[in-house]
Amino acid sequence: MHANSSQAPVRHGAMRAQNLGLVLGEVARGGPLTRAALAELTGLTKTTVSRLVADLLDAGLVAEAPAVPDGERGRPGVEISLSGDRVAALGLEVNVAYLAACVVDLTRRVRVRRVLRRDNRADRPAAVLAALAALGDAAVREVPGLRVAGTVLAIPGPVGGGRVHNAPNLGWRDVDVPALLGRPVTVENEANLAALGELEFGAAPRDFLYVSGETGVGAGLVSGGALFRGASGMAGELGHVAVASGAEAGGRACRCGATGCLEVFAGKEALPSPEALASGDPAALDACARAGRALGIALSSAVNLLDPGTIVLGGCYTPLFRWLSPPLCEVLAERLATLRPDLPVLVPSATGPDAAVLGAAGQVLQRVIADPAAYAEKTTDM
């Protein structure tokens, strides 16, 4: 019966793990900070903080540097910051026309970004994911000093429990992504990750709807700084919101099988290039106005239901913002202005095409910062 003797160390370990997360969290939020400041912020003793900081230094999660001298106040203290020299995150993305990978260090600096243009519809999921694994490996090899703490992968379609039930734009059905990628990975919807990328790496407020324009159209809702996922993690499927009925919808079926979906009218394939628009090509301007009005209808429904405050246009919509926004805002005003004291604010994405892959890497960093002990156990003796 070793129950008593084994319980104490377990409890001690759990408390130490929790305190490591507490200290690293404060450094991430407010660093650089001295050990004394960390003791004050966490309520831990200076001795405990010093021991925890030593562990975090060993694990390469933080670094120390002399504080900038503060006038007459004697010798400067040493300040603790996140370290960008050892721990990194791998973000991956499969989209219809490209694969992407990025390596981001713990200070959120993007160290490598690779994009491979590729028609992923032409290949089976296994081949696409093998190419993605190779792209990710190449990206990681470019920064040999960094250790990858984890991998998150963005997929353009609804995702539940690591499986892709149906991503019609890729032609994927019931794909077990981690098994095919051949490594531990968390799979998440592309628009959700792009919304988080915009929140963490962009300039978004704490309440917004991120709209991802690619071959498919998705959305991620951030409410009070957190992603809204819905009952089964499938919220935000803006691309299949109805924008047309009857004759307008007829004959233009969406890849999902329904008619009148936003994606048919405002997916990437319905949009002209920024060059054609800039040259004043009338057909291009017409197509963009039509897409903008369709987006206006879908987003008026989204505002009625979700009340997001701000709408961020991302993906292929970002470079088209100046052409899309006038018809879009016109429809929002037509459909919403009498009911609401304020119309939602419409802005282009600050992270552009990198939103999803940055958001993917950002999720890994958040996990490391929330539970540094779990990360360190895998890679060091800490």
Cα torsion at 220, 226, 232, 235 (round to 10°)? -20
Q: Please, what is the minimum distance in Å from the beta carbon of residue 43 to a copy of itself?
A: 19
Question: Least distance (Å) from a copy of itself to the CB of residue 296?
Answer: 10
Cβ–Cβ under 8 Å, residues 202 and 154: no
Q: Which region among 90-98, 110-118, 142-150, 230-238 touches a copy of itself (by CB under 8 A)? A: 230-238
200, amino acid identity: E
CA atoms within 13 A on the CB side of 232: 7
Min. distance of Cβ 345 from a copy of itself in angstroms?
10
Least distance to a copy of itself, CB of residue 327, Å? 15
Q: Secondary structure of 255-322 in the HEC alphabet?
A: CCCCECEHHHHHCHHHCCCHHHHHCCCHHHHHHHHHHHHHHHHHHHHHHHHHCCCEEEEEECCCCCHH
Q: Report the C-alpha gap between 162 and 81 in whole angstroms.
A: 34
229 binding a copy of itself? (CB under 8 A) = yes
How far, in Å, CA of 291 to CA of 295, rounded? 6
Q: Quick check: 252 binds a copy of itself (CB under 8 A)? A: no
Q: Which of residues 273-302 bind a copy of itself (CB under 8 A)?
A: 297-298, 300-302
Q: Of the candidates 162, 178, 233, 348, which one interacts with a copy of itself according to CB under 8 A? A: 233
Using the rule CB under 8 A, give the single segment among 3-11, 95-103, 146-154, 225-233 that binds a copy of itself. 225-233
Residue 37 contacts a copy of itself per CB under 8 A: no
Name the segment binding a copy of itself (CB under 8 A); options: 29-37, 53-61, 115-123, 303-311.
Answer: 303-311
Stretch that binds a copy of itself, among 66-74, 88-96, 252-260, 348-356 (CB under 8 A): 252-260
* Interface of this chain with a copy of itself, residues 166 to 195, rule: CB under 8 A: 166, 168
Rg (CA), the chain: 24
